[in-house]
Amino acid sequence: MKRTLQAGSCLLCDIPGLDRLKNDLCHVCTCTETVCFLCYDIETLHRVNRAYGRCTGDALLEAVAEWVGRFSDGELYRVEGDQFCILFRNVELKRVRQYADELELRFGQPWLLTVEEREISVFSQVIIAVLGELNCDIRLEVRDLLDQAIELSRKNHHITVFDAGCDKQSRDHVRLQVELKSDILSGMRGFDVHYQPIVDPSTSTWRGLEALCRWTSPSFGPIPPDRFIQEAEEMGLIHILGDWVLDTALATCKRMGLDELDGFFVSVNVSALQMVKQNYVQTVLDAVHRHDYPFHRLLLEITESTRFPFGEVTYSVIEALRSTGIMLALDDFGTGYSGFSYLKNLPTDILKTDRDFVRDIETDTYLQYFYFVMSETAHANQMKLIAEGVETRAQLRSVVKNGADLIQGYLFGKPMDSPTIESMKDNFTVPLEVFSEWMTDMVDFKHWIHSQDAYKITPSLFGLQSKCIDLILEQEDPELAIHRILETVGTHFKVNHVYVFLRDESTIFSNRYEWCAQGSGESKHLFQRVDGSTDGFYDLLCENEIIIATNASQLPRNLRERLEQGNKQDTIQSIVAMPMKQHGEILGFVGFDCGSERRWVPEELIILHNLCLFCLIIMEKSKERPLCGPERCMGCRK
């Protein structure tokens, strides 16, 4: 390899510099020679200089230059500082790539240097790239091309061959950045906000919307959000973009009247980079006030930027926002930065799981258990869990079974523009068809409770059962024990009523114990007596060993009419009941009901099954003293 000292050369290492490289390329471009480059950047040179002194850094440069001299068919040039390149003429690209591999292997070993009669062993990191055939005038652009090649290898974390295709990608990238900046600074030209529904499985309806930004480039068409949002962050434009999305989402939801729907919320993504902006909290509050939008119906989804992780500033902003009633969610929970370590310090209301945890969850038992753990972690911290990326009914069943409170995904709709959302507003009040099969399925409870697919006992369920057992053991008065248990269970599951019917005669059952939630009116339930010989309610219990209805319209007509006649104060929309059996004989039944549509989840069915057992235990304990009669029980219920 030639390393002769000439004018314009880098005197330090006796290596030709960038000017000499450009002159040599002028000669190459006037003949038929083909050229390739191997360029390398000694990334840790500044650390070597700082740790050992510049003399050691210079010795490292000379040692590397001496080593690459074995590539005798190339010419070495120093581009700048710690960046070098080797020019190969009429050498196959494959061979140059082999040289790059050899250089990478050498940098995996220490460099033995002699500095001022001292021997020093130094490790150093290097970025290596290879430039192949390029469709441009390399004499004019060689510096830019070398920089782009090194940067591409640095980004890819491996040796990259930079060719005409890479050059085009690089040029397109610059062009995209120019158009993005121009459109953002020109009144958000080419931008729109689409909305994806968030579904509540307990009501089978839409509960909220996530606002998602969309951009169409003049030259490249629709650009994926993760790409242009990252570019906006890097160019310092994410604040303008984020503020516009928030303002547009609030204006749209207010115009549609969605903020008046019970339980509705709109979710808007916010980067940690936005949160460190001065007066960010005031920017959000101004937007909410400007559109007269309720604070508690806004959810901000926090996405931590790789350029700025969460810190004290972010925490203080979150606290300030939550103090106004605005809800906060941690996006992509369980992946990368957004993991369990943040739950202790981040005061958020909702966790949103990454779609990777939903893909294949219907068949992957590990994912099912991991999702179950995440849901329990969220609930233990008084947070709700949103499952993102649900695309099939099987996935829906699995995430709900393992603890998801809200669902989002293509199963319920892709992101849609505001006119489409407005035309589908009924989905906020009318149950979705995808849940209809769950509403009408009869449950073989005996098979279900003992099957391998039975619901895993959760810490919260275990704690609830432990409380009930303690009440049985501690209370001397059996009637008081039952009432305390009904109150404990009803409060935990937030139902309207919990009741116990006991058999008085051979086929007559009376409402003996009942708990009512506050605000549910007088505690006189749907009916006070059940006649087993004529009532469809009793027949259903005997036939199926459970009555379960998400909507009262699913029940047989005679039973539905009985509900309406017996309960005129409170509307019963959903109900679940289970018989108490001893030696095959039905001694009574226990049930829950709600005044709104509700899809009963496995936890509630399990505790209802155990309530039957608890009542039987108490009845056994009270054999020496009779249980209270209906007159006394009504007094207990007040």
Report the range of poorest mean pLDDT among 42-46, 48-52, 127-131, 302-306.
Answer: 302-306
Residue 514 has pLDDT above 80, yes or no: yes
The residue-averaged pLDDT of 25-52 equals 82
How far apart CA 398 and CA 404 sit, in angstroms, is 9
Answer yes or no: is pLDDT of 306 > 60: no
Same domain, 236 and 283: yes
User: Which tens digit of pLDDT belongs to each residue from 79-121?
Assistant: 988 899 999 988 888 899 999 999 999 999 999 988 877 888 8
Same domain, residue pair 523 and 452:
yes
Alpha helices in 186-237 (DSSP H): 225-234
Using the 3D structure, point to which of 378, 408, 434 is the last residue of a domain.
Answer: 434
Residues 425, 469, single domain; the answer is: no
Whether 229 shows a pLDDT value over 80: the answer reads yes
Q: Domain containing 532 — which CATH number? A: 3.30.450.40
Nearest in space to 422 (alpha carbons), one of 255, 290, 203: 255
């980004």: which residue's tokens?
A: 155
Domain-embedded: residue 167? no
User: Beta strand 327-333 with 298-303: parallel, antiparallel or unpaired?
Assistant: parallel
Pair 550, 426 in one domain: no
Across the range 614-637, mean pLDDT stands at 52
Pairing between β-strand 384-388 and β-strand 350-353 as defined by DSSP bridges = parallel
- Would you call 541 helix, strand, or coil by DSSP? helix
Domain encompassing residue 304: 187-434
- The two most distant CA atoms of the chain are separated, in Å, by 115
pLDDT of residue 101: 93
- Burial environment of residue 12 by CB neighbours within 10 A (0 to 12, 13 to 18, 19 or more): exposed
pLDDT band at 149 (very low <50, low <70, confident <90, very high): confident
What band does 539 get if pLDDT is binned at 50, 70 and 90? Answer: confident
* Alpha-carbon dihedral 393, 394, 395, 399, rounded to 10 degrees: 100
Q: Check whether residue 425 and residue 478 sit in a common domain.
A: no
**3-state secondary structure at position 462:** helix
Cβ proximity of 548 and 600 under 8 Å: yes
Q: Is residue 429 domain-shared with residue 454, that is, in the same domain?
A: no
Residue 230 domain-assigned?
yes
161-184 burial, b for 16+ CB within 10 Å, e for fewer?
A: bbbeebbeebeeeeebbebbbebb
Q: How confident is the model at residue 636 (pLDDT cuts 50, 70, 90)?
A: very low
533 within 8 A of 509, measured Cβ to Cβ: no
Q: Give the CATH number of the domain where residue 417 resides.
A: 3.20.20.450
3-state secondary structure of 458: coil
User: How far, in Å, are 262, 537, 582 from residue 529 at the CA level?
Assistant: 35, 11, 21
d(CA 602, CA 172): 53
Q: What is the CB-side half-sphere exposure of residue 371 using CA atoms within 13 A? A: 32
| Half-sphere exposure in the Cβ direction for 578 (13 Å, CA) | 19
What mean pLDDT value characterizes the chain?
80
CATH number at residue 26: 3.30.70.270
Poorest-pLDDT segment among 80-89, 193-202, 204-213, 271-280? 271-280
pLDDT greater than 80 at residue 340: no
CB 96 within 8 A of CB 38: yes
Residue 333 within a domain: yes
Q: Which pair of structure tokens corresponds to residue 9?
A: 């050369």
Distance CA 76, CA 69 (A): 8
CA dist., res. 353 & res. 152, Å (int): 31
pLDDT of residue 637: 35
Q: Is the pLDDT of residue 213 over 90?
A: yes
Mean pLDDT: which of 45-59, 173-187, 241-255, 347-361 is highest?
Answer: 241-255
Q: Are 245 and 184 in contact (CB under 8 A)?
A: no
Sign of CA dihedral 11, 14, 18, 19: positive
Own/partner contacts of 185-192, CB < 8 Å, gap of 24 or more, are 185/237, 185/240, 188/241, 188/244, 190/215, 190/216, 190/217, 190/218, 191/215, 191/241, 191/244, 192/216, 192/417
Whether 212 is covered by a domain: the verdict is yes
Do 247 and 391 belong together in one domain? yes
* HEC secondary structure over 5-70: CCCCCECCCCECCHHHHHHHHHHHHCCCCCEEEEEEEECCHHHHHHHHCHHHHHHHHHHHHHHHCC
Domain boundary among 373, 408, 434: 434
Please indicate, yes or no, if residue 168 is contained in any of the structural domains: no
> Does residue 558 share a domain with residue 413?
no
The answer to whether residue 522 scores a pLDDT higher than 60 is no
pLDDT at 36 over 50: yes
| Within-domain flag for 6 | no
Q: Is 250 found in the same domain as 340?
A: yes
Q: What are phi and psi of 183, to 5 degrees?
A: -70, -40
Q: Say if residue 556's pLDDT is above 50.
A: yes
On whether residue 3 sits in a domain, the answer given is: no
**Burial of 306: CB neighbours in 10 Å, binned 0-12, 13-18, 19+:** exposed
Residues 237, 267 within the same domain: yes
SS3 609: helix
Same domain, yes or no: 430 and 446: no
Residue 300 within any structural domain of the chain: yes
Burial 500-515, CB ≥16 within 10 A → b, else e: bbbbeeeeebbbbbbb
Listed in sequence order, the DSSP H helices in 402-452 are 418-423, 436-440, 445-450
pLDDT at 534: 64
- The predicted pLDDT at position 239 comes to 93
CB < 8 Å & 24+ apart, contacts of 525-528: 525/497, 525/499, 525/566, 525/567, 526/562, 526/563, 526/566, 526/567, 526/572, 526/593, 527/562, 527/563, 527/565, 527/566, 527/567, 528/566, 528/630
The pair of structure tokens assigned to 631 is 């007159």
Give the pair of three-digit tokens for residue 458: 């959760």
447 shares a domain with 429: no
**Which among 377, 400, 434 is the end of a domain?**
434
User: Mutual orientation of helices 138-156 and 18-29 as an angle, nearest 10°?
Assistant: 120
Condensed to tens digits (0 to 9), the pLDDT of residues 588-615 reads 888 888 877 676 766 667 777 777 877 7
Q: What's the pLDDT score for residue 413?
A: 93
Domain count along the chain:
3
Find out whether 121 and 111 touch, Cβ atoms under 8 Å. yes
